[in-house]
Chains A and B, each alone.
Chain A
Amino acid sequence: MNVIILSAILGVIMMYTGVMSKNKSTARYVATAGILALIGANWLEFAGVNFFNIDTRGMLEFTSFGLVFNLIILVCTLVYFLLSGKDLEEVGANAADYFALIFFILTGIAIVSAFKTMLMLFIGIEIISIPLYILAGSDKKNLRSNEAALKYFLMGSFSTGLMLMGIALLYGATGTFYTDGMYLGLGNITVMKMAGLVLLMISLGFKVSAVPFHFWTPDVYDGSPTVFTSFMATIVKAAFFIAFLLLFENAFGRMHSEWQFAMALITAATLIIGNITAVFQQSVKRMLAYSSIAQAGFMLLAIFALNNIGKQGLILYTAAYSLPTIGIFAVLMRMKDYTYEGFNGFAKHQPLLAALLAVFLFSLAGIPLTGGFFAKYYMLVAAMKNGAMFWLVIIGVCCAAISVYYYFRIIQAMYFREGADPGIQVSEGFKTVLVLTAVLVIILGVHPDWLLHLLDN
């Protein structure tokens, strides 16, 4: 509850900051301080200190799983602000408002990591989505940004419609919004329940860009200002996953075998299409968009498996995927040329940045000693533990191998090609944060348990 209320308040504060201060950077400082406060508040709640005592009638439940997830999200947002805050200011004249929207999104994320009723799920998802439509179109003079926003909005509304329809059907079938109270799977499974489930699966699949509901992803990620793509592809995506997982665990967990096959198909399609399409991209930004689809395929394994290892894996994945991606985007934003050729000879001119990028790419590719390895490992183990449908694990392994190809193309360009100096300027602070992020990624790869032990609380 701490984070939900505080981040909503912080959103309002950010709006006022925009009005009160003429200095552009003020908003960034306030926002960073705000994130730190949120991390503190979340930690306090984790330790059992609640600022607000509100009777939610069981609509929200703050579990250690949700709180740890929130912690990771908030830390990722902090890293994001520190690395890309400056670029965010340069998108338009409304930096403070963008920060406000991001804080509202954080409210939504805190809600979807704790929801116990469909109502809260819906509100949370919408609080996340609507600011995103705006952020996607924030570069108003750029036609592609406009297109991205409109596309995202249109298709997002479509999926929202499906979600509402699904919720309505489930409500009609069970007479309650509470995920626990639905007792799905106890009685016989009627068409209404099943249809509701399928619709929810589709709409959430859309949000996490699962194939074949992913088509908006490349266009929107590519068209949006890069700084917001970075946010959308990492923090927000993870948030939708947590909603997906919690919903399917709480509401549909008891009829797991009924929908498992469909989920396996979606997962397999996401893995295959995401990875294969990423291979052919020429722009690194677009490649990262497809890579986010490919990684979503791995995260879907957690929902497919629906066991404890999968849940742990999702926590790990959130950190091990978001941090490197934010780091890569932060560097990418400073490049003039978004193609692979733009990275030619990067290692010579920016040895430190190149090395850090390499670490991040290793993590995304799932090379051991980086967080990405354990994240993928946990996902595959979860799927194997599940017992059914072993072919999915094989597809996962093959796709992990394919992914090495397109991630390593950047490394190859950086280290083994000659190229002109990209002439990018980075401050010492930026480098420091990036180094710390890389260190975090490596710590996750060497010793993931410290994060997972938090879950035991």
Chain B
Amino acid sequence: MSKLIYLVPLFPLLGFLINGLGRKYLSKSLVSIIGSGTILASFIVSLMIFFEVKAPGFAPQVVTLFDFIDVAKLKISFAFQVDQLSALFLLIITGVGFLIHLYSSAYMHEETPPHFARYFAYLNLFVFSMLLLVLGANFVIMFMGWEGVGLCSYLLIGYWFKNDDYNKAAKKAFVMNRIGDLGFLLGIFWMISQFGSTDFSVVFAGADGTPVKILTGITLLLFVGAMGKSAQIPLYTWLPDAMAGPTPVSALIHAATMVTAGIYMIARSNIMYTLSPVTQAVVAITGLATALFAASIALKQNDIKKVLAYSTVSQLGYMFLGLGVGAYTGAVFHVMTHAFFKALLFLGAGSVIHAMHHEQDIRNMGGLKKHLPITHITFLLGCLAIAGIPPLSGFFSKDEILTAAFLKSPVFWVLGVLGALMTAFYMFRLYAMTFLGKFRGTHDQEHHLHESPAAMTIPLVVLALLSVFGGFIGVPEVLMKNGHQLENYLAPVFAQSTAKMHEEHHLSHVMEYMMMFGVAAIILVIIIIAWNKFSRYQKTTAEATGLGRVLENKWYVDEIYDTVISRPLLGFSSFLSKFDKIFIDGIVNGVGRLVQYSSRQLRWIQSGQVGSYILIMVTATILLFIIQFFWKS
């Protein structure tokens, strides 16, 4: 079966080609069938592969399709890695991806056929790139997918390219990603010079004997790449802006798949990170800072998608915290559960926006509970899951990360819990302002409120079920013997790191119970407060003051970047441009003119006279004789 692994990315590629090339000829229904069908096909193949991988006695395989680059000693083959980690990610990507495709077919129905097909073509290309990213058996193939998703996200964020702001957002996302990619690329180069290969097998096997300094350098560079793609401080500002894209895109790219690429990469190269404690600390602190920072911003946002965007950044921060403290399984677990509930929340938000005729400000919503029953229930479940209410999925994954953080340092834990509390608060603020209370929009909007079609609600229901029950594959040891099936499943991938990590000092059971349910209880209290406060929300014109205002303005980070980085850069660049025009252009044009001039001068030698040609040949012969007989010897 794993020999058929190439089918998984092949289907979306075909879908991309068909939809992309035939966008002027295909009808909308055909486009959506092709677009979704290819992902479904990939999902089925992934499922089969997953069961094969899950079976006991499975050894990781590398399926080489062809030799990609073969230069001197460097050999990079186009190979796919089939193991527990990639199989799991395949399932998440194709599974959630399929639901989102299905949802899109209804959500995007207003588009004209060619644009509709363009949308699905991009979406399929995105899934293809993402699959390439997780399937690659070396860092170069991974990087190809990495760049591919970057490109697709640019295309999809700027999907409505007639709006200038959206284009700017797309460019911002692309540039931020490129900054990160540069780090990743440098990391790969260093890796090649150190290990002479980018194959996972070679690099990871060689990591143990490598000096820690070098490993730290490589892993830090790789982490810069992850920062860009997974929107961590300081490269996170693109993600909230990326909400300019269609909502299903946000669900797919900016919640479930692309942004988790960085986590996947670090989880994949876990041994290198385990061996360099400095990087681990950097990863953990960056993750924690991002988690808190983004959560605080989310507290005061009024755009339904912006709240979710900052929440995503914050949750990604948790995942990095998990990676930083060595809880690789926990991080991957959280990727999975997050994919479920965040996709659910985004799609739910999409459903609301759809019903509200593209109104995104939650101050103008309220009381949607009775108009959108299915959306309401599923959204509520999503909120509960992300807040970490037992026994929903978010509880288990977040708990695992926090427990690991506690083992590393109680400070991590305290801050992590603080973030979790904020999460619960802003999520229920969002929920309450949207679904509870009285409707605050216009009459026209109220008149048109309606539940979304089945193609949109079915994915919501499926994702809601997954959000509720998805956590049971990772029940902590203390609650259930052998409950953590995911850990057992992923154990081979992280085996090397587990062996390297120091003896785990286990927490006492009492302590663990206390932490687990104590936190859950506080979260519950926070939820009730938020519920009460915002279900009675009234529109006010009063400006926020103090901290609230700072939060509303996202800590002024965009402004700070603008003054500290963009403005000086622009100034510098205008200086450079002048310098360039006068000096560099002078040189370049000078060289150009020199070439032209010498070209013209050389032409007269080409006189057309055989005699003079032979004369020059003889002269050259003399020179050659002189060189050979007198110069060299």
Contacts from A to B (Cβ < 8 Å): 151, 154-155, 158, 162, 191, 194-195, 197-198, 201-202, 206, 212-213, 215-216, 218-219, 258-259, 261-262, 265, 273, 276-280, 309, 377, 381, 385, 402, 405, 447, 449
User: Is B508 interfacial (CB-CB < 8 Å)?
Assistant: no
* Pairwise interchain contact A258-B616, C-beta atoms closer than 8 A: no
Also in contact, A212 and B617, with CB within 8 A (given A191-B629, A402-B595): yes
3 closest Cβ contacts across the A-B interface?
A280-B599, A215-B613, A212-B620
CA distance A153 to B632 in the complex (A): 34
Report which of A155, A191, A259, A405 forms a contact with B614, defined as CB distance below 8 A.
A155
* Pairwise interchain contact A449-B632, C-beta atoms closer than 8 A: no
* Pairwise interchain contact B603-A280, C-beta atoms closer than 8 A: yes
Which residues of chain B from 578 to 611 have any CB-CB distance to chain A below 8 Å in the complex?
592, 595-596, 598-600, 602-603, 605-606, 608, 610
Closest to A211 in B: B620
User: 12 other contacts beyond A162-B621, A276-B602, A279-B596, with CB at 8 A cut-off?
Assistant: A151-B610, A154-B610, A194-B629, A216-B613, A218-B606, A258-B632, A262-B624, A277-B602, A279-B595, A280-B596, A309-B72, A447-B68
Min CB gap A300→B, angstroms: 14
Also in contact, A381 and B617, with CB within 8 A (given A201-B624, A265-B627): no
User: Is B628 interfacial (CB-CB < 8 Å)?
Assistant: yes
CA distance A154 to B609 in the complex (A): 11
* Pairwise interchain contact B632-A198, C-beta atoms closer than 8 A: no
* Pairwise interchain contact B72-A215, C-beta atoms closer than 8 A: no
User: Is B110 interfacial (CB-CB < 8 Å)?
Assistant: no
Chain A residues, CB < 8 A from B599: 276-280
Chain B residues, CB < 8 A from A195: 625
Chain B residues, CB < 8 A from A151: 610
CA distance A261 to B628 in the complex (A): 9
Closest to A212 in B: B620
Min CB gap B58→A, angstroms: 31
Chain B residues, CB < 8 A from A218: 606
Q: How would residues 485 to 508 of chain B score, 1 for a CB under 8 Å from any chain A CB and 0 otherwise?
A: 000000000000000000000000
Chain A residues, CB < 8 A from B603: 277, 280
* Pairwise interchain contact B617-A213, C-beta atoms closer than 8 A: yes
Which DSSP category, helix, strand, loop or mixed, fits chain B's interface? helix
Chain B residues, CB < 8 A from A198: 621, 624-625, 628
Which DSSP category, helix, strand, loop or mixed, fits chain A's interface? helix
* Pairwise interchain contact A194-B628, C-beta atoms closer than 8 A: yes
User: Is B510 interfacial (CB-CB < 8 Å)?
Assistant: no
* Pairwise interchain contact A276-B629, C-beta atoms closer than 8 A: no
User: Is B444 interfacial (CB-CB < 8 Å)?
Assistant: no
Chain B residues, CB < 8 A from A191: 629
Report which of B598, B610, B625 forms a contact with A155, defined as CB distance below 8 A.
B610
CA distance A191 to B630 in the complex (A): 11
* Pairwise interchain contact B66-A259, C-beta atoms closer than 8 A: no
* Pairwise interchain contact B602-A273, C-beta atoms closer than 8 A: yes
* Pairwise interchain contact B627-A449, C-beta atoms closer than 8 A: no
CA distance A265 to B595 in the complex (A): 20
* Pairwise interchain contact A259-B617, C-beta atoms closer than 8 A: no
Contacts from B to A (Cβ < 8 Å): 66-68, 70-72, 592, 595-596, 598-600, 602-603, 605-606, 608, 610, 613-614, 616-617, 619-621, 624-625, 627-629, 631-632
* Pairwise interchain contact B617-A449, C-beta atoms closer than 8 A: no
* Pairwise interchain contact A158-B596, C-beta atoms closer than 8 A: no
Chain A residues, CB < 8 A from B70: 449
Min CB gap A222→B, angstroms: 10
Chain A residues, CB < 8 A from B598: 276
Min CB gap B110→A, angstroms: 33
CA distance A197 to B627 in the complex (A): 13
Chain B residues, CB < 8 A from A201: 624
Report which of A155, A197, A279 forms a contact with B613, defined as CB distance below 8 A.
A155
CA distance A259 to B67 in the complex (A): 37
Min CB gap B74→A, angstroms: 11
Also in contact, A206 and B617, with CB within 8 A (given A191-B629, A259-B628, A309-B72): yes
Closest to A219 in B: B608
Q: Provide 19 A-B residue pairs closer than 8 Å at the C-beta atoms, listed in order of the A residue.
A: A158-B617, A191-B629, A194-B628, A195-B625, A202-B620, A215-B616, A216-B613, A261-B627, A262-B628, A276-B595, A277-B603, A278-B599, A279-B595, A279-B596, A280-B600, A280-B603, A402-B595, A447-B66, A449-B70
Closest to A279 in B: B599
CA distance A215 to B609 in the complex (A): 9
Min CB gap B11→A, angstroms: 22
Closest to A275 in B: B595
CA distance A277 to B599 in the complex (A): 4
Chain B residues, CB < 8 A from A202: 617, 620-621, 624
CA distance A447 to B77 in the complex (A): 11
* Pairwise interchain contact B606-A215, C-beta atoms closer than 8 A: yes
CA distance A212 to B628 in the complex (A): 17
Chain A residues, CB < 8 A from B592: 405
Most chain B CB within 10 A, of A151, A195, A262, A265, is at: A262
Chain A residues, CB < 8 A from B624: 198, 201-202, 262
CA distance A194 to B595 in the complex (A): 36
Min CB gap A170→B, angstroms: 14
Chain B residues, CB < 8 A from A381: 71-72
Min CB gap A283→B, angstroms: 12
* Pairwise interchain contact B606-A158, C-beta atoms closer than 8 A: no
Chain B residues, CB < 8 A from A277: 599, 602-603, 606
Chain B residues, CB < 8 A from A262: 624, 627-628
Chain B residues, CB < 8 A from A265: 627
CA distance A155 to B600 in the complex (A): 24
Most chain A CB within 10 A, of B598, B610, B625, is at: B610
Chain A residues, CB < 8 A from B595: 276, 279, 402, 405
Chain B residues, CB < 8 A from A213: 617, 620
Chain B residues, CB < 8 A from A259: 628
Most chain B CB within 10 A, of A151, A259, A278, A279, is at: A279
Chain A residues, CB < 8 A from B616: 212, 215
Also in contact, A158 and B614, with CB within 8 A (given A195-B625, A280-B596, A449-B67): yes
CA distance A399 to B492 in the complex (A): 52
Closest to B625 in A: A198
Closest to B71 in A: A381
Min CB gap B569→A, angstroms: 28
Min CB gap A290→B, angstroms: 9
Min CB gap B619→A, angstroms: 8
Closest to A277 in B: B602
Chain B residues, CB < 8 A from A206: 617
CA distance A402 to B592 in the complex (A): 9
CA distance A155 to B610 in the complex (A): 7
Chain A residues, CB < 8 A from B621: 162, 198, 202
CA distance A403 to B138 in the complex (A): 35
Closest to B614 in A: A158
Closest to B602 in A: A277
Chain A residues, CB < 8 A from B614: 155, 158
Min CB gap B576→A, angstroms: 22
Chain B residues, CB < 8 A from A154: 610
CA distance A278 to B606 in the complex (A): 12
Closest to A215 in B: B613
Chain B residues, CB < 8 A from A219: 606, 608
